[in-house]
Structure 1
């Protein structure tokens, strides 16, 4: 399969080009040139398939021309080696837990798969290979662990100084070796801007082969489709052939883009809910028709603190830039910090289920949008351990249990560097690696 850019020139590239470029030459994102529909036979067998079997069938149409069947099977088996269970929260709502990987975040799926994909597609070149990524919290740890000690690849992770949790920071700074963590004096959007500037700097790329492990990289986005097939398979085991409503906590809008891609491949979903925190550029756009990015607002759900979502052009493209079509399939809802805290406390009190701030956003977003006798699931993107301060403020006894369980994981350790938000400093750093 070939992949197209979303810019005006509609650049067409191969899978290796899309993966290692990250962005097209004009700075736009890549998308599959076509979205294949899976067979009726696949959906007839879906409920009986293992997670790795689902992954193989979903990803083969996109990757099968560049990878042998045995290679792809090995990749999906090593990527999806941890469980992704669907659990009940209340009578109408279930949760798909995506946090059972090594860094307790959904991004383990995409980062683990991308590291394996890059190691197999790695071009023979004299240039140093640098994976440059920005993180608002969870991406950094997942990428660091996914690429740790991968031969020939250095990883540089940019994160907003003082705006992620100590637990998240430790996951990036405690590894060393080929992992370089940099605290940037600014917000996540500043980190993301620096990454884009590096990709668009042709003089830099003459000396350094820069690529990304953010969800702007197609190789990380595609495997995220897999767990939506898993969630629908598990919920339809219980409800028969009744398609669920699916809610995705949304910041950079890559996760919900993967969900819509899965739907276009034939996955039965009644509709989607995109639940954001008060960084609400997309909900405002769907209401007004005006896309107006704003400075990032710091919230309890920090991995969703994004003022200008990078994956929005992909989602917009999937609906042919038609706002009315989007609104027919996707409801957008905004959850503030007070509501996040109240939801964590209420859901635990009523259902004995502990939510992190992002999952609380997903639960509340889904509960608001269910109609009549509808049911559905939301994706839980991170373990509560990553947001201990928030849990401690509303459920101190549960926070104490987490502290006992995870021990010294909250103590400061590892090393990181600091950097201002000017591109000049980043470029000099990359050239010296």
Structure 2
């Protein structure tokens, strides 16, 4: 399988170049040259497959012969060794729990698959691999966990000062070893721009063997498609889901669109954002106008210029009408989100985090017009990662902190303070 740049479809590279170099020189994003629907034989028994088995077939269909079947199966089995259950919380309303991995966030799917894929592709290379990543919350922790003490790698994580929760920050700043955190005086958009700027410096990239672990990397995106198949099969046969996706950088939605291209039957997509509503505004009027991001209690969605929008446009052939027919965009503020957290707990007994609460609001809006549709809301992180907000709304002690997160609370934070100038990364390197 070859991969092209969203800025130039004539630019083709193999999987190793796409994954290890992450970003084309023309500042596009890599996409597979073909996305062929899964064969009829897959659909005969897909509902009986395990999550890793579904993942293997999906990855194989996208990657073709880029990785031998035995090696790919090992990568998927090692990476996806936790569940992603669908929990019914009300009539026609379900939650897809994506926080059962080691860092309690959906990013574990992408980070663990990517780390093992990179290790396979780089197996004959003796040079140190430098993983450069920006995070608005959960990506950094998942990448740090996936790469911690992996031989031949070092990880540099950029995160916005004051822009992640305390426990999220501890996941980035307490591992040590080959994991280094840079606390940026700026927004997530600044962090993302710093990463991109360094990847566009080809000399720097070659000198330090740079690779990215953000969802700009195609190997981060592919495993996120796995759980859409896993979720859809948990509904009654014949029911087509409406997936409601709390959205920031839009990697999750893009992965869902890949799943749909592979043949998964989806009734509709709902992109739910906080006040950082660049994509909902685009879906409304066809004008793409990124704005500086604003801080909210759903911090992982505080993205003003979502990277994966380029892939979304590519998948729809830059056809705004086609995109808006398939995707609805809805945005909600913090006050509404806080009320939703309380309402979900009071009405269903379920504890939902601020990002999932934005999804709940969007599902409720969708159900006003289509009350019989089966909505599946992606719950992207465990509520304990947003403890101050959760306890403000539900009371002290209302959320149990899993031990693998609680054990970080008293560990000392180690982070380097930097400005939002891309040259700060070069200086650090």
Normalising to structure 2: TM-score of the pair?
Answer: 0.96
- The equivalent position to 1:335 in structure 2, one of 322, 332, 335, is 332
* SS of match in other structure, 1:313: helix
Higher alpha-carbon deviation: 124-133 or 43-52: 124-133
Corresponding residue for residue 279 of structure 2: 282
Provide the C-alpha distance between the structure 2 equivalents of 1:284 and 1:345, rounded to a whole number of angstroms. Answer: 28
Residue 407 to residue 107, structure 1, CA distance change in 2 (3 Å): closer
Contact in 2 for aligned 1:175/1:414 (Cα 8 Å): no
Provide the C-alpha distance between the structure 1 equivalents of 2:245 and 2:399, rounded to a whole number of angstroms. Answer: 29
Q: Does 1:240 align with 2:232?
A: no
Q: Does 1:306 align with 2:303?
A: yes
* Mapping for residues 387-402 of structure 1, pairs under 5 Å: 387-399=386-398, 401-402=400-401
Contact in 1 for aligned 2:129/2:208 (Cα 8 Å): yes
Residue 203 to residue 406, structure 1, CA distance change in 2 (3 Å): closer
Residue 373 to residue 85, structure 1, CA distance change in 2 (3 Å): same
Deviations, residues 7-33 of structure 1 (Å, cap 9, x unaligned): 146310101110011111111100010
Give the length in aligned residue pairs.
Answer: 427
Provide the C-alpha distance between the structure 1 equivalents of 2:36 and 2:241, rounded to a whole number of angstroms. Answer: 22
Provide the C-alpha distance between the structure 2 equivalents of 1:406 and 1:160, rounded to a whole number of angstroms. Answer: 21
* SS of match in other structure, 1:193: helix
* SS of match in other structure, 1:89: strand
* SS of match in other structure, 2:163: coil
Corresponding residue for residue 76 of structure 2: 76
Contact in 2 for aligned 1:388/1:399 (Cα 8 Å): no
Shift of 1:75: 1.0
The answer for unaligned runs of 5 or more in structure 1 is none
* SS of match in other structure, 1:159: strand
* SS of match in other structure, 1:246: strand
Q: Does 1:292 align with 2:289?
A: yes
Provide the C-alpha distance between the structure 2 equivalents of 1:193 and 1:310, rounded to a whole number of angstroms. Answer: 10
* Mapping for residues 257-268 of structure 1, pairs under 5 Å: 257-268=254-265
Deviations, residues 293-339 of structure 1 (Å, cap 9, x unaligned): 11110000000000000000000111111111011110100011011
Higher alpha-carbon deviation: 282-291 or 217-226: 282-291
Shift of 1:163: 1.2
Provide the C-alpha distance between the structure 2 equivalents of 1:343 and 1:26, rounded to a whole number of angstroms. Answer: 42
- The equivalent position to 1:250 in structure 2, one of 224, 247, 251, is 247
Residue 203 to residue 353, structure 1, CA distance change in 2 (3 Å): same
Corresponding residue for residue 36 of structure 1: 36
Corresponding residue for residue 408 of structure 2: 409
Deviations, residues 13-63 of structure 1 (Å, cap 9, x unaligned): 101110011111111100010111012221221111111110111111233
Corresponding residue for residue 425 of structure 1: 424
Corresponding residue for residue 362 of structure 1: 359
